[in-house]
């Protein structure tokens, strides 16, 4: 039997999974790497650290079943939508980094500048550009670190750099270009060169292989080199697939069999550090405040939207990290203990618990439905309490807010995007938090589908590897052959009235927060900054 190796590079770790051609997980391993924050709103990595973690995870995974290493017939990478910057000499980023993390927000002003151009590109990002995409970050680098920019040789999405290190072949995936760059696959000349020229970064498309037609997800990127084979423990010459962003991989992992029949009704939701909602369609649909439509981002010829929450799991981490009554720093064990404690209190007290605690959960901007990376969270019900109950209320209010904003996003997609979403397929770390699962089941206004797989992101990446290996003819065939069993969870009617009321409160707060943000921006211009007099 032939097997597939999938490697997922997330925000803080790399994971490797060994699968058979039917999607069964055989072995899994992980290794961590550091996220560096050299300045406020800056988040960077060292690519060598990431690659070391990738090789460690791969070798550890295969060492669990050493007799199967020689049967690996295909390999694929997924990664966060971070961007690797190759430069001559020293690393080009502050802190010694050469990868800008997806959550880096240094380019907020640059993103707003792009919005001001009114370029047709904005029609494919929901009307306004997120600072989490690559153009604002690279534009910031060119303007604020011109000496470093002068040394830049190329820029690649992280999944493409991983494939390059594994094969020696420099190629780009259309997934990354379509979703995170000013690149429109539906046009004869996909690069928005006029926009780049207007912004003074027209040289971008001359870097490396950015000007070359990208590969489609699942095509062969190249074959594993001798050096990479030794480092990863896989046979030399194994085909490596053109990869994809981690959220898109998670979507593949939970779409389920017969997906074409229910494409318009099913919303894949990949919920971890952040949350991504990724519906597909056969035709382009422009939805305000939602990224996309992106053509060919996963399935050739199909269009994809991406709504999201910039911080979701990280928001719950922050409660554990910062509340004075928290038992300790964030960990999977503490999240589980806290979630179960909240569930116990909800059974005892019902809707009286945290009744005055409500949140608009936009700690790092709003991806959808507003599409504004500058807005911030709004919290009600704060007092002087610092004890355990206050801690548990803060955790519950944050978790509920994430679920209520999910409901808002679903309604927005249905009302503006011709979708008829009635089911949500959940993937990612939130599956391991019983409080979040219960809230998603009861509060989002749709059926919750849970897949019978421990690693849906890795599974989606294995599906991509299966196409490159020749096990399956295309991604739809791979999905049909490897999709896991699924269970549908229905809402508890006891909680419907309470969550409906909480949702109405959320919508009022959302509207008020937006009004306050607009007024605040106007306020910021009323008193001019005094000149220092220093020449």
What fold, for 313-408+494-523? Methane Monooxygenase Hydroxylase; Chain G, domain 1 (1.20.58)
Domain boundaries, the chain: 313-408+494-523
Tokens of 236: 């030399």
Place of tokens 């608009």: 360
pLDDT for 525 = 87
Asked if omega into 173 is within 30° of 0 (cis), the reply is no
Note the Cα 191 to chain centre separation in Å. 23
User: Residue 274's closest CA among 317, 312, 307?
Assistant: 312
pTM for the whole structure: 0.93
The verdict on whether omega for the bond into residue 369 sits within 30 degrees of 0, i.e. cis, is yes
Please give the Cα distance from 231 to 52 (Å, whole number): 9
Taking a C-beta distance cutoff of 8 angstroms, is the pair 324, 333 a contact?
Answer: no
Q: Which three-class secondary structure state does DSSP give residue 317?
A: helix
Beta-bridged to residue 139, according to DSSP, are none
Distances (CA, A) of 430 to 35, 427, 439, 454: 21, 7, 11, 12
Backbone angles phi, psi at 301, to 5 degrees: 90, -10
Identify which of 6, 442, 391, 528 has the alpha carbon closest to the alpha carbon of residue 232: 6
Q: Is the dihedral of CA 387, 392, 397, 398 positive or negative?
A: positive
Cα–Cα distance list, 496 to 150, 443, 502, 503 (Å): 58, 7, 10, 10
> Quick check: 175 and 250 in contact, CB under 8 A?
no
Rounded distance, CA 328 to CA 330, Å? 7
Among residues 321, 420, 455, 347, which one has the least CA distance to residue 29?
A: 455
DSSP state at residue 290: S
Which residue's structure tokens are 């904005």? Answer: 122
> What is the distance between the alpha carbons of residues 326 and 324, in angstroms, rounded to a whole number?
6
What is the reported pLDDT for 51? Answer: 98
> Which residues are bridge partners to 154 per DSSP?
86
- Exposure of 316 in the CB half-sphere (CA atoms within 13 A): 30
Contact 465, 74 (CB under 8 A): yes
Q: Tokens for 55, please give them.
A: 């090789």
Contact 158, 244 (CB under 8 A): no
> 86, 156 in Cβ contact below 8 A?
yes
Choose among 368, 375, 272, 280: nearest CA to 315: 272
Integer angstrom CA distances of residue 333 from 105, 154, 317, 323, 440:
30, 41, 12, 17, 21
Average pLDDT per consecutive 10 residues, the chain (535 residues; last block may be shorter): 97 97 97 97 98 98 97 98 98 97 96 97 95 97 97 98 98 98 97 98 97 98 98 98 96 96 97 95 96 97 96 97 97 97 98 97 94 94 96 98 98 97 95 97 98 94 98 97 96 96 98 94 85 50
Strand partners, 304: 280, 294
Q: How far apart are CA 237 and CA 222, in angstroms?
A: 9
Q: How far is CA 243 from CA 9, 164, 233, 314, 469, in A?
A: 11, 11, 20, 26, 13
Report pLDDT for 296.
97
pLDDT of res. 262: 96
Could you tell me how many residues make up the chain? Answer: 535
The helix/strand count (H/E) of the chain reads as: 16, 21
Three-class SS of 442-472: HHCCCEEEEECCCCHHHHHHHHHHHHHCCCC
Measured in whole angstroms, the distance separating CA 50 from the mean position of its chain's CA atoms is: 17
Beta strands at 266-271 and 423-427: parallel, antiparallel or unpaired: parallel
DSSP-H helix ranges across 145-243: 146-150, 158-167, 174-180, 193-199, 226-232
Mutual orientation of helices 313-322 and 388-416 as an angle, nearest 10°? 160
Q: CA–CA separation, 64 vs 71, rounded Å?
A: 14
Q: How much is the pLDDT for 534?
A: 45
Q: What is the pLDDT of residue 530?
A: 72
């Amino acid at each position: 039997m032939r097997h597939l190796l999938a490697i997922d590079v997330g925000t803080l770790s790399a994971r490797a999974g060994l699968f058979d051609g039917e999607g069964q997980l055989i072995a899994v391993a992980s290794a961590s790497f550091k996220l560096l924050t050299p300045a406020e709103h800056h988040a960077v990595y060292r690519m060598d650290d990431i690659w070391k973690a990738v090789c460690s995870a791969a070798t550890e995974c295969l060492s669990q079943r050493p007799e199967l290493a020689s049967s690996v017939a295909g390999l694929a990478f997924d990664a966060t939508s971070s961007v690797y910057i190759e430069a001559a000499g020293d690393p080009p980023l502050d802190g010694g980094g050469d990868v800008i993390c997806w959550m880096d927000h240094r380019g907020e002003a640059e993103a707003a500048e792009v919005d001001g151009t009114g370029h047709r590109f904005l029609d494919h990002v929901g009307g306004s550009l997120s600072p989490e995409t690559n153009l604002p970050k690279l534009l910031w680098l060119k303007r604020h670190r011109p000496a470093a920019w002068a040394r830049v040789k190329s820029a690649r999405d992280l999944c493409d750099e991983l494939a390059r290190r594994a094969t020696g072949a420099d190629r780009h995936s259309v997934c990354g270009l379509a979703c995170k760059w000013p690149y429109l696959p539906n046009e004869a000349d996909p690069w928005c060169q006029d926009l780049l020229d207007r912004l003074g970064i027209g040289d971008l498309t001359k870097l490396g292989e950015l000007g070359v037609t990208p590969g489609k997800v699942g095509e062969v990127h190249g074959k594993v080199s001798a050096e990479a084979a030794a480092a990863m423990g896989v046979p030399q010459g194994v085909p490596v697939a053109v990869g994809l962003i981690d959220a898109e991989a998670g979507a593949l992992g939970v779409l389920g069999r017969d997906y074409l029949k229910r494409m318009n009704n099913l919303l894949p939701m990949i919920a971890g550090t952040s949350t991504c909602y990724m519906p597909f369609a056969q035709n382009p649909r422009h939805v305000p405040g939602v990224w996309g439509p992106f053509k060919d981002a996963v399935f050739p010829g199909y269009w994809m939207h991406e709504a999201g929450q910039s911080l979701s799991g990280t928001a719950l981490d922050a409660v554990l990290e910062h509340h004075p009554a928290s038992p300790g720093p964030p960990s999977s064990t503490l999240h589980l203990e806290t979630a179960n404690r909240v569930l116990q209190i909800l059974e005892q007290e019902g809707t009286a618990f945290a009744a005055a605690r409500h949140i608009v959960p936009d700690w790092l901007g709003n991806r959808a439905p507003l599409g504004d990376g500058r807005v911030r969270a709004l919290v009600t019900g704060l007092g002087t309490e610092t004890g355990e109950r206050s801690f548990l209320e803060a955790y519950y209010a944050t978790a509920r807010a994430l679920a209520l904003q999910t409901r808002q996003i679903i309604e927005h997609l249905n009302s503006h995007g011709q979708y008829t979403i009635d089911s949500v397929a959940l993937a990612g770390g939130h599956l391991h938090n019983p409080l979040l699962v219960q809230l998603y089941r009861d509060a989002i206004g749709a059926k919750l589908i849970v897949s019978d797989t421990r690693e849906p992101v890795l599974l989606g990446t294995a599906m991509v590897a299966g196409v490159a290996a020749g096990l399956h003819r295309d991604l739809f065939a791979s999905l049909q052959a490897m999709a896991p069993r699924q269970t549908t969870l229905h809402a508890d009617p006891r909680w419907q009235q309470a969550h409906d009321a909480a949702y109405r409160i959320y919508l009022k707060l959302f509207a008020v927060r937006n009004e306050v943000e607009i007024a605040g921006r106007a306020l910021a211009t009323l008193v001019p900054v005094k000149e220092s007099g220093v020449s």
